[in-house]
Amino acid sequence: MKVYQTNEIKNIAIVGGAKSGKTTIAEAMLFEGGLIKRRGTIDDKNTVSDYRAIELERQNSISSTLLYIEHKGFKINIIDTPGFDDFVGEVVSALKVADTAIMIMNAQTGIDVGTDVAWRYSNQNGVPVIFAINHLEHENSNFDEIIRQLKQNYGKNVTVCQYPVNPGLGFNAVIDLVKMKMLKFPENGGTAEELDIPASEMDKAEELHGILVENAAEADESLMEIFFDKGTLTIEELRQGIKAGVTNRGLFPVMCVAGKHNMGVQRLLEFITYNAPSPNDLKNVKTVSGKSLEYKTTDPATLFIFKTGIEEHLGEISFFKIYAGEVTEGMDIVNASNGSKERISQIFSIAGKNREKLPKAVAGDIVSTIKLKSCFTNNTLNAGKNSEDLIPPIVFPDPKFRTAIKAKNQADDEKLGAILNEMHKVDQTITIEYSKELKQIILSGQGELHLNIAKWHLETIHKIEVEFITPKIPYRETITKPAKATYRHKKQSGGAGQFGEVHILIQPYTEGMANQTEFPIRGVTEEKLAWGGKLIFNNCIVGGAIDARFLPAILKGIMEKMEEGPLTGSYARDIVVNVYDGKMHPVDSNELSFKLAGRQAFREAFKVAGPKILEPIYDVEVIVPSESMGNVMTDLQGRRAVVMGMDSEGNYQIIKAKVPLAEMNRYSTALSSLTSGRATYSLKYADYQQVPTDVQNVLLKAYEEQEKDEE
């Protein structure tokens, strides 16, 4: 393969909902580009994109796949992405480096949650969008309805560039409004025959062509003058205007395809070649420090790793986009994200599991390498004097589904931890946390399917049997009123004994509260607790009733009990402890005695201080089709949700609510069931709030039963 220059490169991400036909269209593109001699199919499990074992088993994309073709003097890098919301991280990372999103729409179902998610992230990244309506050969296809939905949801700049002559069974022709020709496809797809537009279609074609010309002219001031002067544009001028409109997101073209039969894919590739921007047509990317990267091959190299994979026989593979300079074999480079020095041993253009070795690659290209020592997704690598420049990282969505995980065989625990960390490298929307508080490994991701795929990898690839367990909730305990307690620890067992007596007053802590005035405060220790909230420890001892050297031991005992709260064993928080009296023994008093006395005094006082359990509350945003709104609202109310507001986005409603984490277990599965998979949601920690009395009683009873079982 020749070394393509920046203006000869097109970087596209194929995005859209599940079952829209993205992988089938990618396969047809590879065929039309001459990379493969025969088109594979999902059913035959032989597509270039879906080659991983789990994808072959499930017959849908799980991970994004980098592909490429050479077409009409251009290199087109293609990132085929999954459509299920559980794998949205793959879409987010692809749109970080793509210069155009090809949004595949299912002509039968129209806009779905996958379409909306991809649109939202293309907006956030400022990525141009070209729509391709697929499955036009299906009897339930409805092109006009899809156009109506697109304009309603995404604005008037959605512009028809092709429309089908005979959608449905027997589909084989479109009117191309750029060429102003009818394209008639052979039965087996491929190169279309260009014919004059039939008289029956001419009025419609001229009307839509006029709209296209006007929208294209609006994208370029020089073309606007020509349009006002002549009332039309030549095909070259029209292409110039379409490209300008696509590049600045002022025009969103709509094309027609039937990917399964390879109809319209060749023309779609031609359209991308003429009208999609090259990397240097877009705004320059700015580093974290504000430096502008201009895709100049003469600048020192800067590259960004947007995806990390692990391939059989290859090991770890890093996929990156070059934002400046050139990358060559044997180049030394510095990881600006962690300071490690690296060497680019080999450079590949990748097409699924196939790869072509390159001597070098230039600014704008998307390629891969292997055997980097300390490089991960979101790392920036630099050559020359710009070694500290950082490209802004991909912002992945927060996890929204959690489970506890453990190995069925305890001997696999260490291996399990190592493999889970490797999984996070490959997919940063999977997060792993060992919770000392809950005594569980918490695995979090984008949905139940997402984590079930992780379980499949553990059991099938790594041969570790695991089980998912309902995760515990990180409750907090606190008090609502002041209380006093006295505890004497006394133990005699021959020789030196143990003696310590502690008198305390505890109070609920609030920011800016006034100190109690019943006892003089002689010293204050403020502990900012790792799990949130505070402990204020006041020394109110008068007359040496307890020696100052024993106060740290009392504090230690109290902290130990706060780490395992008296009500449910959860962390306690936001408490003021005043130690105001006590007794010592000249021989038997020691640090252990006062630690135990402080611990028990705190426990006794806590139980009579109006104790309350707090639960984590999350901000939840649900994006749901209007027709499913009632069912979703009813379900949320059953989860103790407090609805904070509602908004609309096209045909979708956005529900904003505060929901206890305890009520969100398996919510993604329930939401999918309620909406036939057409809704999505996000959640983010908000704060802790008191649980209702009935819920608290249930929790207390459950903890008592647990303690009995452990005795």
pLDDT range class, residue 228, cuts 50, 70, 90? confident
Tell me how far apart the alpha carbons of residues 274 and 266 are, in angstroms, rounded to a whole number: 13
pLDDT of residue 151: 93
Q: Which residues pair with 68 in a beta bridge?
A: 77
Residues 6+ apart with CB under 8 A from 303: 320, 321, 322, 323, 327, 333, 380, 381, 382
pLDDT range class, residue 663, cuts 50, 70, 90? very high
What are residue 327's phi and psi, to 5 degrees? -115, 130
121 token code pair: 């992230």
- Please report the domains of the chain, with CATH numbers, ordered by start residue: 6-279 (3.40.50.300), 285-382 (2.40.30.10), 401-472 (3.30.70.870), 477-610 (3.30.230.10), 614-695 (3.30.70.240)
Q: Assess whether pLDDT exceeds 70 at residue 132.
A: yes
The total of other beta-carbon atoms located within 10 Å of residue 186's CB is 13
Q: Assess whether pLDDT exceeds 90 at residue 389.
A: no
Q: pLDDT tens, 513-545?
A: 999 999 999 999 999 999 999 999 999 999 889
pLDDT of residue 227: 86
For the segment 338-365, the average pLDDT, to the nearest whole number, is 92
pLDDT of residue 6: 95
Residue 280: helix, strand or coil by DSSP? helix
Q: Assess whether pLDDT exceeds 90 at residue 343.
A: yes
For the segment 12-33, the average pLDDT, to the nearest whole number, is 94
Tell me how far apart the alpha carbons of residues 579 and 359 are, in angstroms, rounded to a whole number: 74
Name the most confidently modeled range: 187-191, 297-301, 361-365: 361-365
Tell me how far apart the alpha carbons of residues 485 and 496 are, in angstroms, rounded to a whole number: 27
pLDDT of residue 386: 62
CB 401 within 8 A of CB 446: yes
- The separation between CA 331 and the C-alpha centre of its own chain, rounded to angstroms, equals 32
Phi-psi domain of 671 (left: phi exceeds 0; alpha: psi -120 through 50; beta: other): alpha
What are residue 413's phi and psi, to 5 degrees? -55, -50
* Beta strand ranges found along 74-119 (DSSP E): 74-80, 100-106
Q: Assess whether pLDDT exceeds 70 at residue 710.
A: no
pLDDT of residue 230: 84
The mean pLDDT of the chain is 93
pLDDT range class, residue 494, cuts 50, 70, 90? low
Q: Assess whether pLDDT exceeds 80 at residue 711.
A: no
Tell me how far apart the alpha carbons of residues 491 and 503 are, in angstroms, rounded to a whole number: 18
CB 30 within 8 A of CB 69: yes
Q: pLDDT tens, 175-213?
A: 999 999 999 999 888 899 999 999 999 999 999 999 999
Instruction: Dump the DSSP string for 126-188.
Output: T--EEEEEE-TTSTT--HHHHHHHHHHHH-TTEEESEEESS-STT--EEEETTTTEEEE--TT
pLDDT range class, residue 706, cuts 50, 70, 90? confident
Residue 696: helix, strand or coil by DSSP? helix
Q: Assess whether pLDDT exceeds 60 at residue 304.
A: yes
Q: pLDDT tens, 447-468?
A: 999 999 999 999 999 999 999 9
Report the candidate in 39, 75, 49, 13 with the shortest Cα–Cα distance to residue 190: 39
Q: pLDDT tens, 57-72?
A: 898 899 999 999 999 9
45 token code pair: 């499990």
For the segment 652-656, the average pLDDT, to the nearest whole number, is 90
How much of the chain, in percent, has pLDDT values that exceed 90? 79
Q: Assess whether pLDDT exceeds 70 at residue 576.
A: yes
pLDDT of residue 232: 86
Instruction: Dump the DSSP string for 613-682.
Output: EEEEEEEEEEEEEGGGHHHHHHHHHTTT-EEEEEEEETTEEEEEEEEEGGG-TTHHHHHHHHHTT--EEE
* Beta strand ranges found along 397-530 (DSSP E): 401-407, 431-435, 440-445, 466-469, 476-478, 483-491, 498-508, 523-528
pLDDT of residue 14: 97
pLDDT of residue 625: 85
For the segment 225-231, the average pLDDT, to the nearest whole number, is 86
* Beta strand ranges found along 495-611 (DSSP E): 498-508, 523-528, 534-539, 571-572, 575-583
Residues 61, 64, 68, 72: is their CA dihedral positive or negative?
positive
For the segment 422-442, the average pLDDT, to the nearest whole number, is 92
pLDDT of residue 709: 66
